[in-house]
Amino acid sequence: MVELDSLLHSGYHNPALRPLQVERTLTKGSLMYPIFITDEQDSLIPIPSMPNQYRIGINRLEALIAPLVAKGLKAVMLFGVPNDSVKDEFGTAADDPQGPVIMAVRLLKTKFPALLVSCDVCLCEYTSHGHCGHLNSDNTINNEASVRRLAEVAVNYAKAGADNVAPSDMMDGRMRAIKQGLHEAGLSHRVSLMAYSAKYASALYGPFRDAACSGAKFGDRSAYQLPPGSRGLGRRAIQRDVREGADIIMVKPATFYMDIIRDAKELAPDHPIAAYQVSGEYAMIHHAAAAGVFDLKTAVLESMCSLQRAGCSLILTYFTPELLEWLD
């Protein structure tokens, strides 16, 4: 005989009861769409390793975004993809007023003033060596110089009109420096700071580096991104970024790091928690669906549900255009 305290079916036997068992409901406001902006202004270049994703020029951007906004798009994340000719060892072009990111910010805030425009803050797309900061003579990271430069870039994105800046570089102390820079520029009241707090040195970034043309020319990023097996470092990084003034805490990648997402929610219960479903996760789901392993829509919605169950209130995903349709 089944004990009475073992009976669960009664709580979800009816379809109307099942939503009551869900802690969070996926909405269009839960999504942020990452976009690659190239300095080839009239281009729309397919990214072979990322189905349905493009490097897009500034002159094609409004046409891409307008129908998504009409369907309920609330937020975007911008990544610049400059021409190799402007790259140098210091990432000088990162905040070029005529560069792809600042031009895109100005266009989007003019055409879609209610859209939350976020800017990824990193130097890897702009450095000739492909690393995320400045280097010492022995090719190790010069953390202090990197932080100064990242803060400059973040403040200049904010001055251009960005609503949110999101440093993804993983330098020590950059959150405090950026927060201080925004405060000194008189912008801290209108620009939020989203920390890539627990960003792991993952195998899942390959398609992104193809898209952003940002692969390291030598070595890798394991000296500043977190070791995949380290939970403790992730927890310490989350707590550090909360102390340094982050408004939103992010975990990246998402699916392989749900334990860290849950840690983030427990360590920063009063902060929104974001997860970035990265390019490799996106490609895996697409290719598995194409091979008949599962239905694409069902799998994507389940992935969103599981990230929210782990503790996310914001999900950065390349599936945003499809989700805007499916959530209708």
Which positions are annotated as active-site residues? 199, 252
Calpha distance 197→199 (Å, rounded): 6
Those residues whose C-beta lies under 8 Å from the C-beta of residue 65, and which sit 6 or more positions away, are 73, 76, 108, 111, 112, 115
Per DSSP, the residues of 208-257 read HHHHHT---SSS-STTTSBPTT-HHHHHHHHHHHHHTT-SEEEEESSGGG
Task: Give the residue among 49, 47, 131, 51 at the shortest CA–CA distance from 87.
Answer: 131
Calpha distance 75→260 (Å, rounded): 24
**Measured CA angle at 269 (ends 264, 270), to 5 deg:** 125
Query: Within 10 Å of residue 51's Cβ, how many Cβ atoms?
Result: 16
Per DSSP, the residues of 275-304 read EEE-HHHHHHHHHHHHTTSS-HHHHHHHHH
